Amino acid sequence: TTLQKVKLEGGGIISSLSQSDHHKLTRTLQIEKRLIEALNHNDFHVMYLPQRNVATGKVTSVEALVRWKDEVLGVIHPDELIPIAEETGLINDIGTFMLEKACQQAAIWKQKGLGIKVSYNSSIREFRDKNMVKTVRSVLKKYNCPSDLIQIEFTEKFALEAEAEKKIIQQMQTLHQEGITFALDDFGTGYASLRYLQLLPIGKLKIDKSFVSSIMQQKKLQQLIQGLIHFGQSLDVIVVAEGVETKDQFNLLSEMGCDAVQGYFISEPITAEEVERLIMLNEV
Ligand code: C2E
Ligand code: MG
Ligand code: MG
Ligand code: MG
């Protein structure tokens, strides 16, 4: 861990750091320490970001997002938490926690007669664990959750690294054969490559919100996204737009034939109960 590294390398390293690096390091160490506590006490909760199917108007899947409010440090946003967790390896425990929550919640909704697919974000380190497949199987079984209700999201950075690691691709393929689906997240921000689509079992492409936020102003971007939607259709890959905030964006994306959208125009991340209410409202 970072803490151990600093201890091993001694105080010399700290005194040679600039003040801002020093602040950053102190903050990282604090978060790391509290994170270990939080993991021991299951001190996280989960919010769900609804995804609306454009053709039916229905919410049939949600993305589970981790939320952490530490009693000492206050709210730590995922953008700060995840890189630290990835660096220290604690991301594997967060991943398992999210997997548990996703399966538990999907199973609860299934029992209530709501077939809602739950996706969660994963980091490549989780797939470097050779027991990943076993873990997923046992958690699905524990909650009696059908595998087709679970989707795992990963980024292009993950895909780029996974390419060189057979074991990771194998684990993804195995899970895919067993009914789990995969989504390529933040599409377009990394190293988008045709190879991933060939190599990895990708069922969904999620267009990053940075593109959606400028779609109204940029004709060229509109054409690119239109092309991407056609591309997805011909490959049987679902195309989802992230970060849809306005009615204009929503209308344009639906005209283009985008399969699904998520973002504040549909809903911000909400609790499981609120997801149920949203679906009930939709149905009347
Ligand atoms: P992401 O997977 O792309 O998740 C979408 C993020 O966009 C979420 O931020 C969500 O709250 C935010 N968002 C949703 N709709 C809108 C919108 O209309 N406008 C804008 N501006 N933002 C919107 P959040 O929850 O802060 O998560 C940030 C990132 O942190 C996620 O991006 C994901 O990469 C990562 N993350 C979150 N939870 C987890 C987790 O449990 N495990 C891992 N490995 N990563 C996670
Ligand atoms: Mg995501
Ligand atoms: Mg994303
Ligand atoms: Mg993101």
User: What's the gap in Å between 122 CA and the centre of ligand 1?
Assistant: 12
pLDDT on residue 282: 81
User: What's the gap in Å between 156 CA and the centre of ligand 3?
Assistant: 11
pLDDT on residue 221: 97
Q: Which residues line ligand 1 (CB under 6 A)?
A: 49, 65-66, 77-79, 82, 91, 94, 98, 120-123, 153, 185-186, 209, 242-243, 245, 263-264, 269
**Complex ipTM value:** 0.95
User: What's the gap in Å between 228 CA and the centre of ligand 3?
Assistant: 16
Atom 27 of ligand 1, residue of closest alpha carbon: 78
**Sequence letter at residue 82:** I
Average pLDDT, the chain: 93
Atom 14 of ligand 1, residue of closest alpha carbon: 263
Pick the atom of ligand 1 nearest to 269's CA: 11
Atom 15 of ligand 1, residue of closest alpha carbon: 263
User: What's the gap in Å between 11 CA and the centre of ligand 1?
Assistant: 36
In SS3 terms, the chain reads as CHHHHHHHHCCHHHHCCCHHHHHHHHHHHHHHHHHHHHHHCCCCEEEEEEEEECCCCCEEEEEEEEEEEECCCEEECHHHHHHHHHHHCCHHHHHHHHHHHHHHHHHHHHHCCCCCEEEEECCHHHHHCCCHHHHHHHHHHHHCCCHHHEEEEEEHHHHHHHCCCHHHHHHHHHHHHCCCEEEEEEECCCCCCHHHHHHCCEEEEEECHHHHCCCCCCHHHHHHHHHHHHHHHHHCCEEEECCCCCHHHHHHHHHCCCCEEECCCCCCCECHHHHHHHHHHHHC
Contact criterion met (CB below 8 Å) for 226 and 258: no
Please give the average per-residue pLDDT across 64-78, as a whole number: 97
Residue 73 has pLDDT above 80, yes or no: yes
Residue 44 has pLDDT above 80, yes or no: yes
Please give the average per-residue pLDDT across 19-27, as a whole number: 89
Please give the average per-residue pLDDT across 191-205, as a whole number: 89
Atom 45 of ligand 1, residue of closest alpha carbon: 121
Pick the atom of ligand 1 nearest to 244's CA: 18
Residues sharing a CB contact under 8 Å with residue 283, sequence separation 6 or more, in sequence order:
none
User: What's the gap in Å between 77 CA and the centre of ligand 1?
Assistant: 9
Q: How far is CA 40 from CA 19, 32, 33, 148, 152, in A?
A: 32, 13, 11, 30, 24
User: What's the gap in Å between 262 CA and the centre of ligand 3?
Assistant: 10
Task: Please give the model's pTM, rounded to 2 decimal places.
Answer: 0.93
Pick the atom of ligand 1 nearest to 186's CA: 3
pLDDT tens-place string over residues 231-279? 999 999 999 999 999 999 999 999 999 999 999 999 999 999 999 999 9
Q: Which residue has the higher pLDDT, 133 or 18?
A: 133
